[in-house]
Amino acid sequence: MPMKKIFLASTLLAASFACKKDSDSTRPDTKATPKDSLVTYTGVALYAKPNDPVNGRLFSTLSGKIYTDNAIPDTIGQHIDIAFNNFGAYSLFFTSPTDEATLGFKIPGARTSFVLNMPDAQVFSSAWFDTLRHASALDTLKITTDQESFEAANTPHVVLFRNAAGKRGAIKVKSFNQQLLIDVKVQY
């Protein structure tokens, strides 16, 4: 009988120490993200209609979330990187979240992004986007706002951007039919 008690006590003691090690929150995080990695969002649906209470046209690459015009928490404005706008299927474009004239309202805390809606299609094609695997491929791109637009008929189409944090990214516009379906790749 004493042997069973000793065995039981030692088992409980070992389990107690094992649990303490597993739940120790002071251990450093050993998961490191390589400097050359991209964050990818697929199947993002942005809507064409301004002030839609349900469907959004504002996107944050930090959170991967879509925001509606009238539901932007004060702390989120600084993290919105791109805004979608259009004047029908013949004039689709992305703009900076600070572009009040185009958006028709002010986003609290918004910071300037630069958007190149019409990069050289021979270089920045759908195939280029699909094979983009390294953040360093975006490092040398000169991205300035071009005030251009593209047509829905010309999809797939690639748009380049640089957010306020200096992170460069690419947007692949896949289709447009009341909503703009996109994939996004941005430097980590």
Q: Is residue 79 part of a domain?
A: yes
Q: Is residue 131 part of a domain?
A: yes
Q: Is residue 18 part of a domain?
A: no
- The pTM of the full predicted model, rounded to 2 decimals, is 0.80
| Domain range enclosing 66 | 38-187
Q: Is residue 135 part of a domain?
A: yes
pLDDT tens digits for 79-103? 999 999 999 889 999 999 999 999 9
Higher pLDDT, 21 or 58: 58
pLDDT tens digits for 108-120? 999 999 999 999 9
The span from the CA of 93 to the CA of 85, in Å, is 6
Q: Is residue 181 part of a domain?
A: yes
**Alpha helices by DSSP H, 23-132:** 100-103, 126-131
* Domain count along the chain: 1
